[in-house]
Chains A and B, each alone.
Chain A
Amino acid sequence: MSELDQLFAAHRAAGRKAFLPFVTAGDPDLDTTAEVLRALARCGASVAEVGVPYSDPIADGPVIQASYQRALDSGFRLPQVFDLANSLRGQFAMPLITMTSYSIIHRTGMNRYVELAQAAGYCGTIVPDLLVEEAQPLADVCRAADFSLIQLVTPTTPRERQIRIAELSSGFLYFVSVTGITGERHQMPPGLLENVAWLREQTPLPVCVGFGISTPETARTLGRIADGVIVGSALVRRIAEAESRAAAVESVTRFASDLIAALAEK
Chain B
Amino acid sequence: MSTAPAPPHASASVPDNKGRFGDFGGRFVPETLTYALEQLADEYARARRDPEFMRELDGLLKTFVGRPSPLYPARRLSEAVGGAQIWLKREDLNHTGAHKINNTIGQALLTLRMGKTRVIAETGAGQHGVATATACAHFGLPCTVYMGSEDIRRQKPNVFSMRLLGATIQPVESGSRTLRDAVNEAMRDWMSSVQDTHYIIGSVIGPHPFPMMVRDFQSVIGTETRAQCLESFGSLPDCVVACVGGGSNAAGMFYPFVEDEGVRMVGVEAGGRGNRPGDHASPLSHGSPGVLHGSFSYVMQDEDGQTCDVHSMSAGLDYPGVGPEHSYWKDTGRVDYVACEDEDALTAFDRLARSEGILAALETSHAIAKAISIAAEMSRDQHLVICLSGRGDKDAMELARLRGQAWE
A residues apposed to B, CB below 8 Å: 54-61, 65, 69, 72, 77-78, 101-108, 110, 128-131, 133-134, 137, 151-158, 161, 165, 176, 178-181
Nearest residue (CB) in B for A183 is B192
- Whether the pair A65, B174 counts as a contact (CB closer than 8 A) is yes
A61-B188, A103-B290, A133-B27 given. 17 additional CB < 8 A pairs?
Answer: A55-B307, A58-B29, A58-B293, A59-B30, A65-B174, A72-B306, A103-B292, A104-B305, A105-B305, A107-B304, A107-B305, A133-B18, A134-B26, A156-B32, A179-B32, A180-B191, A180-B192
Any chain A CB within 8 A of the CB of B28? yes
- Grouping DSSP codes into helix (H, G, I), strand (E, B) and loop, the A interface class, with mixed when no group exceeds half, is loop
What are 11 A-B pairs at a CB distance below 8 A?
Answer: A54-B306, A103-B28, A103-B292, A103-B306, A129-B28, A134-B28, A152-B31, A154-B30, A178-B192, A179-B194, A181-B188
With both beta carbons as reference points, the residue of chain A lying nearest to B288 in the complex is identified as A107
Check A165 against B31 for contact (C-beta < 8 Å): yes
Closest residue of chain B to A65 (Cβ to Cβ) is B174
Q: A54-B306, A72-B306 are in contact. Are A157 and B34 (CB under 8 A)?
A: yes
For B89, list chain A residues within 8 Å (CB).
Answer: none
Question: Do A55 and B27 contact each other (CB < 8 Å), given the known contacts A69-B174, A107-B290, A180-B191?
Answer: no
**What's the Cα separation between A158 and B39 when bound, in Å?**
12
Q: Find out whether the CB atom of B29 lies under 8 angstroms from the CB atom of A131.
A: yes
Given A58-B187, A154-B32, CB of A179 within 8 Å of CB of B192: yes
Q: Closest approach, in angstroms, between the C-beta of B227 and any C-beta of chain A?
A: 38
The residue in chain A whose Cβ has the minimal distance to the Cβ of B296 is A106
Cβ-based interface call for B406 (8 A)? no
**Does B379 count as interface, using CB distance less than 8 angstroms?**
no
Encoded as 1 (CB less than 8 Å from any A CB) or 0, chain B from 295 to 315 comes to: 010000101111100000000
Q: Which A residue's beta carbon lies closest to that of B304?
A: A78
| Min distance, Cβ B286 to any Cβ of chain A, angstroms | 16
- In the assembled complex, the Cα of A148 lies from the Cα of B180 at a distance in Å of 32
The answer for the CA separation of A56 and B295 in the assembled complex, in Å, is: 13
Q: How far, in Å, is B285 (CB) from chain A's closest CB?
A: 19
B382 lies within 8 A of chain A by Cβ: no
A163 to chain B, nearest CB (A): 14
Contacts of B296 in A (CB 8 A): 106
Partner of A56, one of B31, B35, B195, B293: B293
A to B contact number (C-beta, < 8 Å): 116
Say how far A172's CB is from chain B's closest CB, in angstroms.
15
Q: B183-218 interface mask toward A, CB cutoff 8 Å, 1 = contact, 0 = none?
A: 010011001101100000000000000000000000
Name B's A-contacting residues (CB within 8 A).
1, 18, 26-32, 34-36, 174-175, 180, 184, 187-188, 191-192, 194-195, 290-294, 296, 301, 303-307
With A58-B187, A131-B34, A176-B32: A101-B305 Cβ-Cβ less than 8 Å: yes
- Indicate if the CB atoms of A153 and B194 lie closer than 8 Å: no
Residue in B closest to A211 when the chains form the complex, CB atoms: B32
Shortest CB distance B145–A (Å): 17
Q: Are A106 and B305 in contact (CB under 8 A)?
A: yes
How distant is A162 from chain B, measured CB to nearest CB, in Å? 10
Provide the bound-state CA to CA distance between A57 and B32, in Å. 14
> A31 to B194, alpha carbons, bound, how many Å?
39
Closest to B30 in A: A59
Q: Are A77 and B304 in contact (CB under 8 A)?
A: yes
Q: A131 with B290: in contact, given A58-B184, A77-B304, A107-B301 (CB under 8 Å)? A: no
CA distance A104 to B18 in the complex (A): 22
Q: How far is the CB of A149 from chain B (nearest CB, A)?
A: 14
Q: How far is the CA of A112 from the CA of B307 in the complex (A)?
A: 20
A103 to B194 alpha-carbon distance, docked (Å): 23
B294 contacts across to A, CB distance below 8 A: 58, 129
* A77 partner residues in chain B, CB cutoff 8 A: 304
Are A179 and B306 in contact, with the CB atoms below 8 A?
no
Q: A131 and B174: CB pair below 8 A?
A: no
Please tell me which one of the listed residues B31, B34, B188, B304 contacts residue A104 in the complex, with CB atoms under 8 A apart: B304
Partner among B31, B34, B35, B305 whose Cβ is within 8 Å of the Cβ of A108: B305
Contacts of A106 in B (CB 8 A): 1, 290-291, 296, 305
Contacts of A128 in B (CB 8 A): 30
For A104, the chain B residues whose CB sits under 8 A away are: 304-306
- Residues of chain B within 8 A of A61, CB atoms compared: 188
Tell whether, in the assembled complex, residue A154 and residue B31 are in contact, meaning their CB atoms are under 8 Å apart: yes
A152 to B32, CA, bound (A): 9
Q: Which of A108, A154, A161 has the most CB of B within 10 A?
A: A154
Question: CB within 8 A of A103: which of B192, B195, B301?
Answer: B301
| CB pair B192 A181 closer than 8 Å | yes
Interface contact A179-B188, CB-CB below 8 Å = no
B32: A residues at CB distance < 8 A: 59, 154-156, 176, 179-180
Quick one: closest B residue to A66, CB to CB?
A: B174
